[in-house]
A = this chain, B = another copy of it.
């Protein structure tokens, strides 16, 4: 390392940021004074402060390439080198170009490099977070797969046999963020999961630091209890008496929905667990043609077959028509099939439609069919006194999927499946693995949740959610939900009669989904018909491609049934404001004008 680099350049780069400050000492001495004072404290504290000063020294303008980082680091080190001769300062360890993973904890003397490495990572992350919320930054810096694979300015994705220096690792961290997508950016509207909740993020950092596993109370005592209390609270909000019932957090809505089908089957045909589907009659399932494809995936995976999943017709807004359900149930029974499971969606993926749960529940009760409510997307509305009526009847469901990682802004992954009848989850999934769920432990083993799960090891998804709930309160989630729904009404009102915009369905949105076409001027005079449809079908993909290439905003599009590609705007991002909605509208017009 460049131990001979002049110290003054580093000092002045710190002080040079505001040379007119009246508080400022002469550049060289001020930096030395800090380090001197730092050394005067406990040695550890001194080291930390100097490490911190080095880090902040070149904050923001730090170069991304290895060369420039190395150069700066060397300068910083030298500045501190001049500041005092404390042997415990270990300044050589802050040159990340000579440090490797093997030098970190648990290695002997690994504590100081570990702390400095982690603080450097945090510096990268906090810088990223600040930029994420800054509207002057791009949402993404788009590159094609082949471009990233070829290597961007030294960002090489290939793995190698030999270790890279921690300096390179830090550069890789910066590059990974640089070429990624800022899903927390106020103008990122592309998915149902958007936003970057700071308390949730802190929760995730803690979760990964604790690096444990939900399967037993033994190694996750606090998290297991948090999960239990939070699930109870969610069941209370659903409306089950005293929050009774059961539930578990799973890796996502698709798995939660899969659980619901498994549990329903276990309830009606428990012998399938041991004897397989051969032990059951021919079972059929029902779900909306607008429902999430995970119901179909579950039908395939669990051995029902996708042809035995019967799709229900919907009205113009994408809501199940209950009469169609009843007709299809009767038809299936007449054919000798056994209707076993109905999925009602509370918040469909594209239209944001809420199926009429009460009317569906009536039919399920009449024919003794399991009612599942897939509220992965719409469950969040239960937190809002204003909007919860859209899920009226959810308390009649036998099971509910609810993803806090969608509308409630919890970092991904955070999905719960809730079950009204206690014992089914355990009965369905228990295999009594003696090596994990010993019955002769010293604590109450009913708190060991692992045997309820289809997983063995299970990631801790609860803590960030629990922490956010503590930090916001139920009222905080309510405010977030109400604000997002207000914003979607604002968008709807702004475009419903705007020239060049056409709504996919006429009425007000039930959820934050606003579905619309943008009709470029060149298509506006055209008669309806095949040619217009074909051309319109290409508009949204083109605008989306231009959006991504300019990096200004992101919003999803898709066809649905016989409707050609349209935009699906969704708002779950707490950073979004009316100005961002205005921006989106104008950006679509700007990019689509010449198409």
Contact = CB atoms under 8 A, between A and B. Distances in A.
Contact of A100 (B33, B40, B471): B471
Interface string A538-573: 100100110011000010111110000100100000
Contacts of A422: none
A110 B459 CA distance: 31
A49 interface: yes
| Size category of the binding interface on chain A | 35 or more
Contacts of A163: 470-473, 475-476
A393 interface: no
A447 to B, nearest CB: 5
A164 B118 contact: no
A409 B107 CA distance: 15
A454 B251 CA distance: 11
Contact of A303 (B34, B272, B293, B434): B272
Given A173-B467, A307-B274, A349-B435, A41 B21 contact: yes
A58 to B, nearest CB: 11
A15 B157 CA distance: 46
A350 interface: yes
Nearest to A178: B222
Contacts of A3: none
Contact of A161 (B100, B122, B275, B474): B474
Contacts of A272: 300, 303, 305
Contact of A209 (B42, B84, B129, B468): B129
A201 B211 contact: yes
Contact of A212 (B180, B221, B429): B180
A210 B163 CA distance: 25
Given A122-B205, A157-B222, A273-B305, 15 more contacts: A14-B45, A18-B40, A18-B41, A100-B471, A101-B199, A121-B205, A142-B221, A145-B224, A146-B444, A162-B475, A183-B213, A208-B411, A211-B412, A258-B301, A277-B305
